[in-house]
A and B are shown apart, each in its own frame.
Chain A
Amino acid sequence: MAEGSGASGAPWQVAIVGSGPSGFYAAEALFKSGLPVQISMLERLPVPYGLVRSGVAPDHAKLKQVIDVYSRIAEMPGFEYYGNIRVGNDVSVGELCEAYDAVILACGAEADKPLGIDGESLAGSHTATEFVGWYNGHPDFRDRVFDLSHERAVIIGQGNVAADVARILARSPQELAHTDIAEHALEVLRTSKVREIFVVGRRGPAQAKFTSKELKEFGELEECDASIDPAELALNEASAAEIAGAGNAGAKRIVEIFSGFAARPPGKARRRVVFTFQKSPARIEGDSRVRNIVLEHNVLSGAPMNQSARGTGKFMSLETGLVFRSIGYRGIAMPGVPFDPRSGTIPNLAGRVVAEGQSVPQIYVAGWIKRGPTGIIGTNRADSVATVASLVADLPKLSAAGGKSGFASLRSLLHGRGTRPVSFSDWKRIDAAEVARGANLGKPREKFTYVREMLALLA
């Protein structure tokens, strides 16, 4: 068993900012290190679990069982959860460095990448984040309005988030009624007039970023057919070589699934999802709101596994009232911490935050804010383990004097600023109330979608 901090042998005080997967896996790795640690997890919302609560789709209930793992970590001795505290606002990173031996920023990548085209900000043009947050009951997006009165929606991007958006638009209300989708969203989706959903990829079918599981689901929807023009599945030589490679079984499977969709006779379902490839959005047109989107055809060039798309100067136009962009996320800069605006991440070496090649003492990063918005829930586990290995190696030189007092020294400061921390037992009350509300509706849970509702429950 390694030593505690300073002469007293008191535990090392570590603050983790963010309660998504990477925050919880960092906590787990700290406990597994065998060091005596006291962890404060600080979360800007009253409620924990980051994108597992507010990103993962409501019809993917099994995935959310990962929450059981996180709540077991939260119940371990030496762990404290403090929700409703926005770091950089309610308390600064500098103040955390005073109170803690080390600070791990695990605050995700909450901003969207813009398309950078004309018409992007017209009414009816949205980010996937807004829509996902809205149907998942995230307080930031509670009052967004989506007009589903047009028959065609267009989604730009071919990754799993784009798939989620397309699938939620494609599902029948009955299919969603018994999930944990927010009731306000379900009400609007019940009135949806959307019949056709285009999912547009910049490159070809062999480069689509879906996982095979997400893609296969489009073949199994109650009221929606999956459709592809078979001509769009013709692969160039480099793409054929890509999917023949031993290490690229995933892409091969994706192309097989697309081929299966293309081979189906036209279905009679009420809705259809159309996958289309090698097109980039050129502009969105409309006066006060979206009327159509103009796409430019692309060609692919380059060596296998390294092909890029280039515009051909040939355009097509799709009439639509609803456009979603889903081309990736960016982190948001944290005041007082270095930030790389180009990648939207916090610069780091093996999880140690660096500025101009020098590591910044005490501050570490994990998850999407560290490596960008790639990888799925489990990817964050390996990533947080690596960050914590760096932190544990540094601890002895961080704080020879020891004696950091952790949350005890923040409490009065936060009180003075009018912030009410939400504890894990407070969250369990919110959780129980949500589950009870859900039971009345035949759902696993009905989330509270305003912070004030959550806090009122605890008053």
Chain B
Amino acid sequence: MTTVVTDNCQGCRFTDCVAVCPVECFHYDGEMLYIDPDVCIDCSACIPECPVQAIFEEDDLPDDKREWIEINATRSKGLPVCSEQMDPLPGAEERKSALGF
């Protein structure tokens, strides 16, 4: 079991999730965040914080998003840790509205 960030995070990167992560397991690139499954303790704190509902427990992932388990596991490894809240990416608010939130 792990917890994964999915495509809704792309292009918005609000980092509300990061502020409540007890173990600093989020990593980031210019597009979105990824969770390191070896560090995450599956506490679920981040899930309700995400304004675009990008984060899922592995068991709750819709079938068309299961590829994100692998993407989080591999991408997180080479990227810097995001330990504090950052500014959202430009256009984040527009993207949030476009996603219907």
Contacts and interface: CB of A to CB of B under 8 A. Distances in A.
A53 interface: no
Interface string B35-51: 00000011111111000
A308 interface: no
In the complex, which range does the number of interface residues on chain B fall in? 20 to 34
A253 B53 CA distance: 13
B60 interface: yes
Contacts of A32: 84
Given A212-B60, A377-B43, A377-B45, A65 B20 contact: no
B44 A213 contact: yes
Interface string A341-372: 00000000000000000000000000000000
Contacts of B41: 62-63, 65-66
B42 A21 contact: no
A379 interface: yes
Interface residues of A, number: 25
Nearest to A250: B48
A378 B21 contact: yes
Interface string B12-23: 000000011111
A289 B50 CA distance: 47
A381 B22 contact: yes
Contact of A382 (B20, B23, B48, B100): B20
B7 interface: no
A380 B20 CA distance: 7
Interface string B47-86: 1100001000101100000000000000000000000100
A216 B59 contact: yes
A69 interface: yes
A143 B45 CA distance: 34
Interface string A374-410: 0111111110010000000000000000000000000
Contacts of A378: 20-22, 43, 45-46
Contact of A21 (B22, B44, B47): B22
A253 B60 contact: yes
Contacts of B60: 212, 253
B48 A63 contact: no
B20 A381 contact: yes
Contacts of B43: 63, 66, 376-378
A380 B22 CA distance: 8
A247 interface: yes
A63 B22 CA distance: 10
A65 B23 contact: yes
A240 interface: no
Contacts of B20: 378-379, 381-382
A21 B48 CA distance: 20
Give the residue among B21, B41, B59 with the most A Cβ atoms within 10 A: B41
What 6 A-B pairs come out closest when comparing CB atoms? A378-B45, A378-B20, A382-B19, A378-B22, A377-B22, A66-B22
Interface of B: 19-24, 41-48, 53, 57, 59-60, 84, 100-101
29 contacts: A21-B22, A32-B84, A62-B41, A62-B42, A63-B42, A63-B43, A66-B22, A66-B23, A66-B43, A69-B22, A69-B23, A69-B24, A213-B57, A216-B59, A246-B100, A249-B53, A250-B47, A253-B60, A376-B43, A377-B22, A377-B45, A378-B20, A378-B22, A378-B43, A378-B46, A379-B45, A381-B19, A381-B21, A385-B19
